[in-house]
Structure 1
């Protein structure tokens, strides 16, 4: 039995949070799957796969698996972001002189 099985993490409404649970961080709406539970001198922490960050369990709520799938669809791949930046840079290299549109002081 590993440490995460021994830790009892309870969500905002008192529901148990376990590795594999899908939870929502209420402050930002971030949804993720719990990959680890840990405990230190500050208390219990829940690690989410979607952000790679630890959260206090009392600021999380258990949510539906469908919300995780919805959030995954909204994410942009690295390739799509790089493609956008290349096209953005190409458009802005069209010879605009930014000094003409900014105020000098």
Structure 2
């Protein structure tokens, strides 16, 4: 039985959060090596120690656009780039108060 940081059993296909970085993903695989339990997350395709993740409830899961393709407006990006062309960078800019 693979358990999370709170000693709650982690089922396959459940959503978990890696406590150090906040990475959220679905558990796609599990393994035990040298008495250490590991879970593999779909978002990163990486293995995480099960004791460093926490099982999420439905209410904890927020909609995320990570990894999803979004439509990009090239003309909007070009317009924003033009805003930076008029920037004047001076080596004599004010310094911090130190």
* Aligned mate of 1:91, from 83, 86, 92: 83
Q: Which runs of 5+ in 1 are unaligned?
A: 1-7
State the SS of the aligned residue for 1:46.
strand
Q: Could you tell me the TM-score, scaled by structure 2's length? A: 0.64
Q: Which runs of 5+ in 2 are unaligned?
A: 94-98
Cα distance in structure 1, aligned partners of 2:47 and 2:7: 18
Residue 46 of structure 1: CA displacement? 0.8
- Map of 1:5 onto structure 2: none
Paired positions, count: 92
Greater helix share, 1 or 2? 1
State the SS of the aligned residue for 2:21.
coil
Q: Could you tell me the TM-score, scaled by structure 1's length? A: 0.60
CA contact 1:31–1:71 (8 Å) conserved in 2 = no
1:53 aligns with 2:24: no
Residue 20 of structure 1: CA displacement? 0.6
CA contact 1:35–1:47 (8 Å) conserved in 2 = yes
Structure number with greater Rg is: 2
RMSD: 3.3
